[in-house]
A = this chain, B = another copy of it.
Amino acid sequence: MSENKLDEFAPIFYPKTHAVIGASSDMRKFGARVLQVSLTFGYRGRLYPVNPQESEVQGMKTYASVKNIPGPVDFASVAVPAQAVPGVVQECLEKGVKAVQVLSAGFREAGEEGAKLEKELAEIAARGIRIIGPNCFGVYSPDGGITILPGANLPKESGTVGFISQSGGYAIRVPRRSEGLGIRYSKIVSYGNACDINECDLIEYFYHDPQTEIITGYIEGVKDGPRFFKLLQEVCRKKPVILWKGGLTKGGARAVQSHTASLGGEEQVWDAVFGQTGAVRVTGLEELLDTTLAFIHLKPQKGRRVCPIGGGGGIGVAATDSCERMGLSVPVFAEGLQKKLMSIVPETGASARNPVDVGNPHPPPQMLRAVMETVAAEADIDIIIIDELGMTMVGPPGSEPMRPPGAARDMVQVPVDIRNRFGKPVIVVLPVESVGTETLEEEGDRRRVCDYYLEQGLPVYLTLERAARALLNFTGYHRRNAVMSS
Contacts and interface: CB of A to CB of B under 8 A. Distances in A.
Contacts of A82: 348
Contacts of A176: 433-434
A450 interface: yes
A258 B319 CA distance: 13
Interface string A149-181: 010100000000000011111100100110111
A276 interface: no
A332 to B, nearest CB: 7
A105 to B, nearest CB: 4
Contacts of A322: 284
A281 interface: no
B465 A320 contact: no
Given A349-B105, A357-B259, A397-B27, A320 B434 contact: no
Contacts of A256: 317
B434 A440 contact: no
A164 to B, nearest CB: 12
Contacts of A463: 284, 286
A314 B218 contact: yes
A486 interface: no
B451 A437 contact: yes
Interface string A330-356: 101000000000000001110101010
Interface string A123-144: 0000000000001000000000
A425 interface: no
Contacts of A36: 397-398
A284 B325 CA distance: 12
Interface in A20-48: 27, 32-33, 36-37, 40
A33 to B, nearest CB: 6
Interface in A286-333: 286, 311-325, 329-330, 332
A367 interface: no
Nearest to A347: B106
A397 B33 contact: yes
Interface stretch (A204-212, A241-249, A377-385, A469-477): A241-249
B435 A27 contact: no
Determine which residue in A173, A252, A255, A259 has the highest number of CB atoms from chain B within 10 A of its CB, and name it.
A255
A199 interface: no
Interface stretch (A59-67, A232-240, A411-419, A441-449): A441-449
18 contacts: A167-B317, A169-B312, A169-B315, A170-B315, A177-B434, A179-B436, A180-B439, A220-B314, A220-B317, A250-B324, A251-B330, A252-B320, A254-B320, A255-B313, A255-B351, A255-B353, A259-B351, A259-B357
Interface of A: 27, 32-33, 36-37, 40, 82, 104-106, 109-110, 135, 150, 152, 165-170, 173, 176-177, 179-181, 218, 220, 246-252, 254-256, 258-260, 283-286, 311-325, 329-330, 332, 347-349, 351, 353, 355, 357, 361, 396-399, 432-437, 439-440, 443-444, 447-448, 450-451, 463, 465
